[in-house]
Amino acid sequence: MDHREFIDSIVENFIGGICAFEVDGRSRQMKPVYLNNGLYRMMGGTKEAIDMLFSDLRLSIIPDDMQVFEQGIRDILADDGAAEFEFRIVGVDGGLMWLRIHGNLYSREGDKNIISTVILDCTEEKTIEEELKRQSNYMHLLMDMDITFDFNCRTDACVFRFAQSDAHAKDTVIEGFLSRIPESGIHEEDMKPFSRVITSAMYHTHRDTIEFRSKGFFSDSEEYRWYKADIASVVGKEGYVSHVIGHIVDIHEEKLKEIELQLKADHDGLTGLTNKRATEALITNLTKECDLLDRQGALIILDADNFKNINDTFGHSNGDRVLATIGEIIRNNFKGMDVAGRIGGDEFMVFANNIENSINACRLAEKIEAQVMHAFDGDPMEGNVSMSIGIAMCPAHGADFETLYRHADAALYYTKEHGKAGWHLYDPQDRDRS
């Protein structure tokens, strides 16, 4: 292949238009002089349909963009260097396309002008740009920490843009983004939900919002901060999701206030434990995790014995002191992912998460019982405070909250029927005992 053939081959196989048009200097009418094969491939239609479209391109241009197109042609004919402009047309398939023309004047004889152009399909680029603008306007994210991201599903690369941040350059590119999400400083508990939202947006066109904690990437802070990501899928020309884009905004202060209010709403003021509604909701979630992660848990119901007599004999203020003391003992023995709550006047419920076996659960119950009984040694109430405790194991005695509660309550009833001040592990035969 000689040099000329090589150049011709490159021109013909370039994915995009390398074209020449004759333009009348007075009427500005255009007709194609040369269209390369790459233009036909880019436009995605038959040669006849593409030839017809470019024989009078103005007929396909969106009216709102006609002024841009006319000005672009005038700029090329002014012969003051190359001109570039973008406009929308109705493609041969009836869909909307964005075209970008980069052109210059090649020759002029009277009113006959020949212009040479490179024509590119910039539909996907403009769609992403418009989506980002739409999200920005909708979310009013023009604030101190305005972060946008563009994840390319084809290349697995994500570009983060930090509008106003001293900690980062204007753009930060992460190659192999999906596998490197753990490096973005996202909290361990939020990493899977964040990855799930991104992955879902890759395969199902939709919008989503997720709140997550991160440190060291989106700001200089080495402490975890709360962020909100508004995410949207962008469908490319081929009809499938090509990009996942969105905004990330710092919501740390607002989230802390929300958490504080939620904690106040979910907690019992006297004991500091969660209230009945929150306790049952949290335990319900943990029972599901036990099933999914093949863990064991223990549901423990604790009831203060003869509490009415304590109130009647020692007064309600001392009764409150007993409840507060029991709450403190429970808090000291159950921490981390355990759930501890006050579910009634003198009734408490605990879910010991990821406990090794029922023996450990019984030891915990025995320890709490002993601590409660000795908490008032040397006090006028000494010898009057004790607990009755019922235990049910998850999933052995039930894989859902309702079943576990029913069985732990049966075990508690057994304890009360057999002298109180003790504990009992649920046994299916309990119903037959008296």
**Same structural domain for residues 292 and 419?**
yes
**Same structural domain for residues 298 and 390?**
yes
Whether the per-residue pLDDT at 140 is higher than 50: the answer is no
Catalytic residue among 121, 230, 250, 346: 346
The pLDDT value given to residue 145: 46
**Same structural domain for residues 114 and 165?**
no
Whether the per-residue pLDDT at 288 is higher than 90: the answer is no
User: Is 339 in contact with 275 (CB distance < 8 Å)?
Assistant: no
Residue 424 lies in a domain: yes
The pLDDT value given to residue 144: 44
Whether the per-residue pLDDT at 46 is higher than 80: the answer is yes
> What mean pLDDT value characterizes the chain?
87
The H-assigned helical ranges of 46-187 are 47-55, 66-77, 123-139
Residue 183 lies in a domain: yes
**What is 363-430 written as a DSSP string?**
HHHHHHHHHHHHTTTTSTTTTS--EEEEEEEETTT-SSHHHHHHHHHHHHHHHHHTTSSEEEE--TTG
Secondary structure of residue 248 in the 3-state scheme: strand
Domain that holds residue 301: 267-432
**Same structural domain for residues 138 and 242?**
yes
pTM of the predicted structure, to 2 decimals: 0.47
Residue 79 lies in a domain: yes
- Number of domains, the chain: 3
The pLDDT value given to residue 315: 94
| CATH at 117 | 3.30.450.20
Whether the per-residue pLDDT at 309 is higher than 70: the answer is yes
Element (H, E) at 265: helix 252-266
- Supply the Cα-derived Rg of the chain in whole angstroms: 36
**Same structural domain for residues 293 and 417?**
yes
Q: What does the alpha-carbon distance between residue 421 and residue 253 come to, in Å, rounded to a whole number?
A: 46
Please tell me which residue, 378 or 142, carries the higher pLDDT value: 378
pLDDT category at 434 given cuts 50, 70, 90 is: very low
pLDDT category at 3 given cuts 50, 70, 90 is: low
Tokens encoding 174 = 């992460």
pLDDT category at 163 given cuts 50, 70, 90 is: low
Q: How many CB atoms lie within 10 A of CB 34?
A: 12
Domain final residue, candidates 200, 218, 251? 251
**Same structural domain for residues 325 and 233?**
no
Residue 260 lies in a domain: no
Residue 259 lies in a domain: no
User: Is 401 in contact with 284 (CB distance < 8 Å)?
Assistant: yes
Print burial letters for 138-176: b (CB count within 10 Å at least 16), e (below 16).
Answer: ebebeeebbbbbbbebeeeebbbbbeebeeeeeebebee
**Same structural domain for residues 194 and 173?**
yes
Residue 258 lies in a domain: no
The pLDDT value given to residue 285: 87
**Same structural domain for residues 191 and 329?**
no
Whether the per-residue pLDDT at 141 is higher than 50: the answer is no
Tokens encoding 168 = 């980062």
With 0-12 / 13-18 / 19 or more C-beta atoms within 10 angstroms meaning exposed / middle / buried, residue 260 is exposed
Pairing mode, if any, of strands 171-175 and 157-162? antiparallel
**What is 7-24 written as a DSSP string?**
HHHHHHHSSSEEEEEEEE
User: Is 98 in contact with 126 (CB distance < 8 Å)?
Assistant: yes
pLDDT above 70 as % of the chain: 92
Backbone angles phi, psi at 25, to 5 degrees: -65, -25
**Same structural domain for residues 106 and 7?**
yes
Residue 149 lies in a domain: yes
Judge whether 166 counts as a catalytic residue: no
Domain final residue, candidates 251, 280, 310? 251
**Same structural domain for residues 69 and 134?**
no
| CATH at 374 | 3.30.70.270
The pLDDT value given to residue 235: 83
Model confidence pLDDT, tens digit, residues 174-185: 899 988 887 778
**Same structural domain for residues 75 and 176?**
no
Model confidence pLDDT, tens digit, residues 76-113: 999 988 999 999 999 888 888 899 999 999 999 999 99
Residue 115 lies in a domain: yes
Average pLDDT rounded to a whole number, residues 30-54: 91
**Same structural domain for residues 193 and 287?**
no
Least confident of 29-43, 120-134, 263-277, 291-305: 120-134
User: Is 112 in contact with 26 (CB distance < 8 Å)?
Assistant: no
The pLDDT value given to residue 333: 92
Q: How far from chain centre, in Å, is Cα 248?
A: 10
First-to-last alpha carbon distance for the chain, in angstroms, is: 101
Domain final residue, candidates 94, 121, 148? 121
Please tell me which residue, 349 or 91, carries the higher pLDDT value: 349
Helix crossing, 316-333 with 358-374: angle to 10°? 150
The H-assigned helical ranges of 267-357 are 276-293, 307-314, 316-333
